[in-house]
Amino acid sequence: MHKRNRLFVSIALIYGLLGGLIAIVRLLDPSLIPGNVPRAHGHIMLLGFILMMIYGIALHVLPRFGGFPLYSERMADWQLYAANTGLPLMIAGWLGWRDMLVMTGGLFTYGAIVLFGLNMILTVRGKGSA
């Protein structure tokens, strides 16, 4: 399994633990963490835990199931960077009430989504080097 894909899965697990932890702290005492904690929790779990887990697994299995190599390793690398720039910015924006950070983070996150989507379409359709 490619190191980048293992990183995606590992980061997903860390986001899962982090997202769960801030929800537990919020349940214990809502004043302990400032900002829009429920929204941050929801997005950490969905974009951080579930989506990064899917990124890691899909980048590994879809080329194999599709019968063609991954269209672009470089796109997948940039997807890792964009996804992990975007989500921390969004979290910081929600916890710090900074809409600009949420918007910037959202753009990076969307960039990662587009990179993944295009890479997968081109891989499964067999537009790679093989």
Site for other proteins in 48-77 (CB under 8 A): 50, 53, 57, 60-61
Q: Could you give the CA distance from residue 64 to residue 37 in angstroms, rounded to a whole number?
A: 39
Tell which one of 35, 39, 45, 77 touches other proteins (CB under 8 A): 45
Judged by CB under 8 A, which stretch of 19-27, 81-89, 96-104, 118-126 contacts other proteins? 19-27
Buried b vs exposed e over 7-42: b needs ≥16 C-beta within 10 Å?
Answer: bbbebbeebbebbeebbeebeeeeeebebbbeebbe
Number of residues that bind other proteins (CB under 8 A): 19
Judged by CB under 8 A, which stretch of 45-53, 86-94, 110-118, 122-130 contacts other proteins? 45-53
130 binds other proteins (CB under 8 A): no
- Is residue 91 a contact partner of residue 101, using CB atoms and an 8 Å limit? no
Tell the smallest beta-carbon distance from residue 23 to other proteins (Å). 6
Q: Could you give the CA distance from residue 67 to residue 20 in angstroms, rounded to a whole number?
A: 37
43 binds other proteins (CB under 8 A): no
Tell the smallest beta-carbon distance from residue 98 to other proteins (Å). 26
1 binds other proteins (CB under 8 A): yes
Q: Could you give the CA distance from residue 76 to residue 82 in angstroms, rounded to a whole number?
A: 10
Nearest to 6 by CA among 57, 48, 40: 57
Q: How far is CA 40 from CA 18, 53, 90, 109, in A?
A: 11, 18, 8, 14
Note the residues at the interface with other proteins (CB under 8 A). 1, 6, 9-10, 13, 16-17, 20-21, 23-24, 27-28, 45, 50, 53, 57, 60-61
